[in-house]
Amino acid sequence: MTGRALSSDWLKIRGKGIWFLVFLAPLGLTAMQALNFGLRLDYLKEQYAGNLWGGLLENVIVFVPLALMLGATILSSMIAGVEHEQGSWKQLLALPIPRPAVYLAKFLLACMLLIVSCVLLTTSVVGLGLIFGFDVKDIPWAQALKLGLMPLAGALPVLSIELWLTMVSRNQALPVTFGIVLAITGMFSLSLSPQFPLAWSQMAWSAPNPYLYAGMGVALGIMIMLAGMMHFSRKDVA
């Protein structure tokens, strides 16, 4: 059932600008570092002489948690907005597909789109390093793949909350505003506590044990997703 709903959702997002957003975020972050390194290449090569690739990744990761939380907010709104704009919730929920399957399909769709964006970020950053003449033999593939995926795991609670709010609310202004507030708060969350959930996206990269924070993010994200699924299953959606 979830597979059928997911296939339908893939078709619905065509021509909605969602793929533009998926590509825009990683390419935008890469362009920022292209400008940064392009203007200060000699200085940065001297500063990171012992680890050029590591220096590039560290410059990119500063912006990744914010981009992920904002991306989760906007993607959730756009995915739910397809049904809200067309007024098709009643028709969709009248189909012989359980409500939990409908909700899970949209959650999986959002996760898959963000994963695509993260993989594109890795590809773009590696390509940027090669353009600047970094040694191809020194590419830290494991770290490059973690660049987006580990912070995404830590940011999963934000995606779950935003999908919940956008799915049950026809007016998208409040969920989107709340998501922006969460993203901005996440930028300063490490000053509060590493245990604060909004800090987990950053800690999933920078902590001595990043897998702990990535795992906590996934666990809390799934718990929030299940709570949202239960609420959606019982709520009348116009």
**How do residues 144-192 score in pLDDT, each as one tens digit?**
999 989 999 999 999 999 999 999 888 888 999 999 999 999 888 888 7
Q: How far apart are CA 12 and CA 27, in angstroms?
A: 24
Q: Alpha carbon of 87 to those of 94, 174, 181: distances in Å? A: 13, 19, 28
Burial state string for 1-12 with b = 16 or more CB within 10 A and e = fewer than 16: ebeebbeebeeb
Q: Among residues 155, 175, 174, 166, which one has the least CA distance to residue 221?
A: 155
Kindly report, residue by residue over 3-60, the tens digit of the pLDDT: 777 777 777 777 778 889 899 999 999 999 999 988 888 888 888 888 899 999 999 9
Confidence of residue 89 (pLDDT cuts 50, 70, 90): low
pTM for the whole structure: 0.92
Q: How many CB atoms lie within 10 A of CB 80?
A: 25
Q: Among residues 137, 151, 163, which one has the least CA distance to residue 57?
A: 151
Kindly report, residue by residue over 116-139, the tens digit of the pLDDT: 999 999 999 999 999 998 989 989
Q: Among residues 193, 191, 204, 177, which one has the least CA distance to residue 65?
A: 204
Q: How far apart are CA 64 and CA 26, in angstroms?
A: 9
Can you give the pLDDT at residue 224?
Answer: 97
Confidence of residue 93 (pLDDT cuts 50, 70, 90): low
Q: How far apart are CA 116 and CA 51, in angstroms?
A: 27
Q: How far apart are CA 210 and CA 153, in angstroms?
A: 10
Q: Alpha carbon of 101 to those of 22, 97, 131, 230: distances in Å? A: 24, 7, 45, 11
